[in-house]
Structure 1
Amino acid sequence: MIKLFDLTLQINGFPMREAKAELQKILAIPEEEYGRFIEKQKMEIVHFHLNNNPFYKELVGENSLKNWSDLPILTKENLQKPLNERLSMGYTSKNSYVNKTSGSSGHPFIFVKDKFCHALTWASYMYRFGWYGIDFNSSYQARFYGIPLDFIGNKKERFKDFLSHRYRFSIFNLSDEVLESFLKDFKSKKFDYINGYTSSIVLFAKFLQQKNIILKEICPTLKVCMVTSEMLFEEDKLLLEKQFGIPIVNEYGASELDLIAFQNPGSQWQVNSETLFLEILDENNQTVPNGISGRVVITSLYNKAHPFIRYDIGDIGVLDEKSTLKKPILKQLIGRTNDVAILPSGKKSPGLTFYYVTKSIIEDDENVKEFIIKQTKTDTFEVEYVSETELTLAQINKIEEAITLYLEPNLYFTFSRKITLERSIRGKLKQFTSFLLCN
């Protein structure tokens, strides 16, 4: 059988055979030698960029570097400058992989990877999807993602889907009529797995729940579902497992880096320690002990075209106490550092706390399909939701009581029912936004 997926990448200049061989060599390194491997890769990538990347050399400055912790933290704000000012010598947009981040953090930017680094990214994805019997060259993917709406962009994406053996469900309109058409596709096509944005896949599961349908029963070829890009709450995971009848796998990645963490068959969120080095830092840029929350800061160990060294990805997370250098385990991903609600008392609270507390009440009767929360003033929040019927006064009171209990009193909420919710260009749903931090 022709390995069309591999072949397409190879034709585009991504050395897949070499990348897969390199990944296997890394995986074979025993635990007791892994620390030496990580230190060697860290030093090599830093010295490469200090010698070949004027942007990074200027960022680091003239200070002599005695410790890893002396290196500056790279932020998305640092990257808000033209790409040609950030490229390493010898690399151009013509001989590298170039793409753009989604901008969900509020700081979109164009990034670049050298072709070997990007091939390693794909090798990493293929290896981990293989844990669940998924082969990118032969397994058929049901893809819940956005798609460009302009004619040329749309056709290019559809052609890429064909080469990648996947069928795309456009998620910009998720009305019952559209979800009904999704269901027909699952009845007629032999999908092996589902992959896509958490919120749209959860919405499809709620639609199946209303119809009392188990997806595996009408599409017996389905093996697994991988969700990505948005928070997966435990109740939603249970709903997906029940309505799909297959394992649900949580994926955490960043387009400018790689796959960051992937749920292994033992239900641990295993960090990619082969191509990335992940740190959890406090507000003084010091490493926190495992089990303590902090900022997720990542180093790309192989990207020579562009430095991502001690790069603050904008998330807050916790490493498990059982983590090792070879097998770090992400215990918890708390949310984005910019998704913080600042309350009248001066208290700061992760925006997802509001979302989670509201969610636990608002979805009790299965009336509300999805919702978002916007903070417009320190004491004022807007809840926009899609539902069959308006929220009752009793439900609204219950939400306000819960928020008072978990956070603080005298916060004001307005509730507005919508036909659809606003999604990003790529189809992501931002569950909480504070407009206090956007100004």
Structure 2
Amino acid sequence: MKLFDFTLHLNGFPLAKAKQVLNTIQDKNEVEFESYLLQKKQDILTHHLAHNSFYKQLGQHININDWNTVPVMTKRDLQQPLALRLSDGFTPKNVYINKTSGSSGDPFVFAKDKFCHALTWAEIQNRFGWYGIDFNSSLQARFYGIPLDKIGYYKERFKDKLSNRYRFSIFDLSDTALANYLDLFKSKPFDYINGYTSAIVQFAKYLKDKGLILKTICPTLKCCVVTSEMLFPDDKKLLEQQFGVPVINEYGASELDLIAFQNPDDVWQVNSDTLFVEILNEKNQPVPNGEEGRVVITSLYNTAHPFIRYNLGDIGILSKTSTLQKPVLEKLVGRTNDMAILPSGTRAAGLTFYYITKAIIEDDGNVKEFIITQKTRSEFKIDFVGKSEISETKQQAIISEMKRYLEDGLIITFEKHDALKRSKSGKLKQFKSLVSQ
């Protein structure tokens, strides 16, 4: 019995129909696809202008024949009661409702109509299928957060059971906990790993310390899919080395869909089936492929709630090889609110600090993980988990690299911890600024 599919069907999500529609979309040639995309953009825009009072107000100056007149939506636009944002005919009782993690600082509740949510799962199943993963039969090792209250905890465990997955709590990444995780890989026939990058990287570091390759311990393992946090090239190399299976980079947003998924040719393929992804400049105009800009996305099928030219809060680059039917995400730079403002007034991506520090302090295996906080324009604090303090030599090397890549006069302090504080969802935010943007 296909329990995963049946559970979606039982909850009113028409997965079979969604799979048929997805197959039809993917069977189109380039000319047919261009017409399809143009029509779907027009359809979803017209629908919400006619049937959604919230969007009608937001888009009152739209020229229906000029896509560039469509306003860019932000998360703050959506921070009002859900009932005020639903389209005609939809209520909280006949839609799928969830909430964003709030990692961007602007959490909100959102909705999808049931067909749109089914299509999301059809797309996800399709992409995982590239690697021989079937949600109805493949056992998942799930590295995610889990609610700590009793009701929430058992609710997630029950959902995990229905979804054929075993959840590893990422709130405890001590050696004792990781040893227990390893024992489970010895006893359970896991097909794939899926979860937050930082926690999975910690497990790989533990395996490296023990001189172990996970595939030899769990021969059924086929692949590892990381999501929600940045995957750096050296971390990907570590994961592939210690797991012995392909490591796939996933980019998604709960309020939208799967946005990009690394295909078997090692290309970060954007979902053009159910989404229209644009890269825009500060004036909300499209930039040429190959240039950096804000990731702005239109959900082509969500008739219950408008996500039209929705600014996700990320900065990215589409490859010059991209086409309308097969866009390729060349690079995901980071979040627009993860920027540092330096004493000179210069703005720098927060991950620049993280990347410089990472290159210096992780080479000897002392530091397990760390986060960087900008306290003032010139002061930065590095909180880390490690076996011992960071040496004076390495501290000076970090300060020197900051000066070389950024500017002089930056003050860096270090503090060792037994564990780092993760968000409620379990994510580890690598950089945050306390300086007003």
Shift of 1:93: 1.1
Note the 1:315-394 alignment, pairs <5 A.
315-394=314-393
Q: Is the 8 A contact 2:316 2:332 kept in 1?
A: yes
1:44 is aligned to: 43
Equivalent in the alignment of 2:90: 91
**Residues of 2 paired with 1:428 and 1:63: CA distance?**
38
Q: Which range is displaced more, 344-353 or 55-64?
A: 55-64
- The amino acid across from 1:388 in the alignment is K
Q: In 1, distance between residues paired with 2:435 and 2:62?
A: 37
Shift in Å at residue 62 of structure 1?
4.7
Shift of 1:64: 3.8
Q: Contact 2:196–2:228 (CA<8 Å) still a contact in 1? A: yes
Runs ≥4 residues deviating over 6 A: none
RMSD across aligned C-alpha pairs, in angstroms?
A: 0.7
Q: Are the structure 2 counterparts of residues 130 and 37 from structure 1 closer, same or farther at C-alpha, using a change threshold of 3 Å?
A: same
The residue identity in structure 2 corresponding to 1:321 is: K
The answer (yes or no) to whether the contact 2:61–2:69 under 8 Å persists in 1 is: no
**What are the within-5 Å matches in structure 2 for residues 1-400 of structure 1?**
2-400=1-399
User: % of aligned pairs identical?
Assistant: 61
Query: 1:117-173, CA deviations, whole angstroms, 9 ceiling, x for partnerless residues?
Result: 000000000000000000000000000000011111111100000000000000011
In structure 1, C-alpha distance between the alignment counterparts of 2:424 and 2:28, rounded to whole Å: 41
- Scaled by the length of structure 2, the TM-score of the pair is 0.99
Moved more, 85-94 or 252-261: 85-94
Q: How far is 1:35 from its partner?
A: 1.0
Find the aligned partners of 1:62 and 1:173 in 2 and give their Cα distance: 51
* 2:171 alignment partner AA: F
Describe the shift of the 1:63–1:254 C-alpha distance in structure 2 as closer, same or farther (beyond 3 A).
closer
Relative distance call for 1:122 and 1:396 in structure 2 (3 A) is: same
Give, in angstroms, the shift of residue 65 of structure 1. Answer: 3.2
Worse-matched range after superposition: 54-63 or 11-20: 54-63
The answer to whether the Cα contact below 8 Å between 1:372 and 1:432 also exists between their aligned partners in 2 is: yes
* CA–CA separation in structure 2 for the residues paired with 1:63 and 1:371: 46
Do 1:338 and 1:437's aligned partners in 2 also have CA atoms closer than 8 Å?
no
Question: What amino acid sits opposite 2:125 in the alignment?
Answer: M
Deviations 1:333-374 (A, max 9, x none): 000000000000111000000000000001010110000000
Unmatched 5+ stretches in structure 2: none
C-alpha separation between the residues in 1 aligned to 2:254 and 2:31? Answer: 31
Amino acid at match of 1:226: V
Q: How many residues align?
A: 437
Q: Distance in 1 between matches of 2:24 and 2:62?
A: 35
Distance 2:422 2:303 in 1: 34
Preserved contact between residue 290 and residue 318 of structure 1 (Cα < 8 Å): yes
Letter in 2 for 1:100: K
Q: What TM-score comes out, normalization by structure 1 length? A: 0.99
What SS does the corresponding residue of 1:377 show, helix, strand or coil? coil
Letter in 1 for 2:117: H
Distance 1:389 1:112 in 2: 47
Structure 1 distance, partners of 2:38, 2:408, is 50
